Structure 1
């Protein structure tokens, strides 16, 4: 789950909504309470076990450092997938937005950052609860889709904007986007995918659903801010996330 640095007054309402979303998803709970459940999730994840551990550490460390820096002046959610970090939420000004990105860029093992923070007042509890329910609906729809592997996707929602993360084929990316856009309350879908081929998935021991060859990767309309300079101007499709806003 994405780490939310909400920095404002805590409430049990978002937690209750989050648990409800987990129930709607019909899959593993948002709070994993046992080693067996954790082992199942790690085994079905398309990231390496090392990347999963790094992502957890990145989220925890980033949340702590952002909390120290901003206190209750910002609401920032951190989601890391395969060491690529998505920042969403609200900050008081552009300087704070850049400061948050710089803070996270200094966390160990971060490969890149997609900074989707907006300059605005913190969202209301009603809005956050609505976002959590949307996330649950999207996850549930992925579970229901026989041609998708639901655990291949990370879903984050802020202010009605759905962010999709994952290591997926181009066909899976298009299919997941189409499903998410049909969920009530979704204002926009932003894809932050690491596009791979079916052969690459098979090489890592994963049988891609659908069986058909994937289409070319969608054109990128935004790019994550790299923590280190990229090795090449045109990296292969599997080298990093493809960020494509879909309206």
Structure 2
């Protein structure tokens, strides 16, 4: 049992490290949507997963054209809700990024958590990738959570949690993420659904009202 747990953690960390290495090659990073076998357990429809990938691709291209190498912006789309994280040079750039995203097809809502600051260092981004891997591994090991229901994004030690989840799952996932070493705070960007809705619509989820519940306590 201990070996299986260790192996799952190592595999997730290795995957996260690989993703971090690839994203380091470009200034704008797409969050990436789950594909392949996750389609069967993801609470988004397969069509929505493809839409999310398209949103991230189009948004990243537009923002790269807007900023070039002047900014470091991460674009993550989950059920057509877009999370913007990273650093931009000015407040005007921050507002322009959100405005640009509103023109991207299929975007349902935007959470803009860009900060006005110099781009984060490569070591900081590598550390963020490691934290993301550890949070994901902790979700896999939790017996009372479906890990594929969550999208995890880390920026400067801040962990963002996305997904269509119940209040119980949201609370539990937040507790787990808080306990991971290196996490400075947890921000919840969830769509809250009822337990009944989860049972009824798991195989074919529909968009729920978007809620944003930032938890600024480490």
State the TM-score, normalized to the length of structure 1. Answer: 0.73
| Pairs within 5 Å for 1:199-210 | 199-205=196-202
Whose helix proportion is higher, 1 or 2? 2
Structure 1 runs of 4+ aligned residues shifted over 4 Å read: none
Displacement of 1:174 in angstroms is 0.3
C-alpha contact (below 8 Å) 2:72/2:88 kept by paired residues:
yes
C-alpha contact (below 8 Å) 2:35/2:49 kept by paired residues:
no
C-alpha contact (below 8 Å) 2:43/2:202 kept by paired residues:
no
> Which of 172, 178, 197 matches 1:175?
172
| Structure 2 unaligned residues grouped into runs of 5+ | 1-8, 23-33
| Correspondence for 1:77 | 74
Aligned residues: 192
State the TM-score, normalized to the length of structure 2. Answer: 0.82
- The answer on 1:245 being equivalent to 2:215 is yes
Q: CA distance change for structure 1 residues 203 and 153 in 2, over 3 Å: closer, same or farther?
A: same
> Which of 51, 55, 64 matches 2:52?
55
Q: Which moved more, 1:237-246 or 1:156-165?
A: 237-246
Distance in 1, matches of 2:90 and 2:108, equals 25
C-alpha contact (below 8 Å) 2:80/2:106 kept by paired residues:
yes
In the TM superposition, what whole-angstrom CA distance separates every residue of 1:10-48 from its partner, at most 9, and x where no partner exists? xxxxxxxxxx98633889x969xxxxx943111110011
Please tell me the root mean square deviation across aligned C-alpha atoms, in Å: 2.3
